[in-house]
């Protein structure tokens, strides 16, 4: 028991000693190519469920890259790919329905949801707007995201730099040919909440 306690204490010490609080200062040292960290990234969406609640779900399989230019953020580029079959609602049977049926995400025919940025503009010291093309169910539409740069720091288990971001946005599911149950009180507007970390390549 003593050895186990000592090991836990030692590992905790190592983790704490590696941690550095994130810094929102955008220095040239942060420039470069980054890979999305799927284990520290989430994309959560909500839609009105007959006006009684906001039905909430997320995706479990997300990959992507970021080319980051801290001194000229408008030159940065983000490319995110989501597996629509990785939908998680808390009900595995319904996950299968939403992910695979043609009246929903139809992942067999359209195996990825992809977002590629087109423009990036700053709105504050660590906030900005990303406008890009979202391709879903074979249809591409413009999507605007309000983004906050949470800073650069050290993530556990990764030896390089890590950048953290939070973002929000909205879209209309009917724009992508998805109107299932709209006549039965299921909302059209989808709200997005994104939390993402990118590790230095």
Instruction: Confirm if 128 and 73 have CB atoms less than 8 A apart.
Output: yes
Mean pLDDT of the chain: 93
Given pLDDT bands bounded at 50, 70 and 90, which one contains residue 7?
low
How many domains does the structure of the chain reveal? 1
- What pLDDT, on the 0 to 100 scale, is given for residue 185? 97
CA distances to 6, 12, 13, 147 from 3, in Å:
5, 14, 15, 46
Whether 71 shows a pLDDT value over 80: the answer reads yes
Three-class SS state of 174: helix
- List % helix, strand, coil for the chain (3-state, nearest 5): 20, 45, 30
Point out which residues pair with 78 in neighbouring strands.
66
Angle at CA of residue 62, ends 16 and 148, nearest 5°: 60
In a domain, 67, yes or no: yes
* Secondary structure letter of residue 186 according to DSSP: B
Mean pLDDT confidence for 33-49: 97
In a domain, 194, yes or no: yes
Range of the domain at 41: 23-200
In a domain, 10, yes or no: no
In a domain, 108, yes or no: yes
In a domain, 1, yes or no: no
Given pLDDT bands bounded at 50, 70 and 90, which one contains residue 120?
very high
Between 65-74, 112-121, 155-164, the lowest mean confidence (pLDDT) is in: 155-164
The closest of 14, 7, 26, 4 to 156, measured between CA atoms, is 14
In a domain, 172, yes or no: yes
- What pLDDT, on the 0 to 100 scale, is given for residue 5? 74
Mean pLDDT confidence for 39-53: 97
Whether 13 shows a pLDDT value over 70: the answer reads no
Mean pLDDT confidence for 101-125: 97
In a domain, 31, yes or no: yes
- What pLDDT, on the 0 to 100 scale, is given for residue 177? 96
CATH assignment at residue 124: 2.40.128.110
In a domain, 79, yes or no: yes
Angle at CA of residue 197, ends 165 and 75, nearest 5°: 60
Taking residue 35's Cβ as centre, other Cβ atoms within 10 Å add up to 16
- What pLDDT, on the 0 to 100 scale, is given for residue 182? 96
């Amino acid at each position: 028991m003593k050895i186990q306690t000592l090991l836990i204490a030692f590992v905790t010490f190592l983790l704490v000693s590696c941690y550095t609080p994130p810094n929102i200062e955008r220095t040239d040292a942060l420039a470069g190519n980054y890979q999305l960290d799927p284990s520290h990234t989430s994309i959560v969406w909500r839609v009105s469920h007959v006006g009684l609640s906001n039905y909430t779900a997320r995706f479990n399989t997300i990959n992507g890259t970021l080319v980051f230019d801290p001194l000229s953020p408008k030159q940065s580029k983000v490319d995110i790919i989501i597996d629509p079959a990785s939908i998680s609602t808390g009900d595995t049977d319904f996950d299968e329905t939403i992910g695979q049926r043609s009246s929903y995400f139809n992942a067999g025919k359209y195996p990825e949801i992809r977002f590629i940025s087109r423009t990036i503009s700053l709105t504050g010291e660590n906030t900005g707007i990303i406008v890009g093309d979202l391709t879903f169910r074979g249809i591409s539409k413009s999507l605007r995201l309000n983004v906050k740069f949470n800073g650069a720091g050290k993530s556990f288990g990764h030896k390089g730099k890590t950048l953290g971001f939070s973002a929000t946005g909205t879209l209309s599911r009917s724009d992508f040919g998805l109107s299932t149950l709209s006549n039965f009180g299921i909302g059209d507007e989808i709200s997005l909440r994104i939390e993402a970390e990118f590790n230095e390549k």
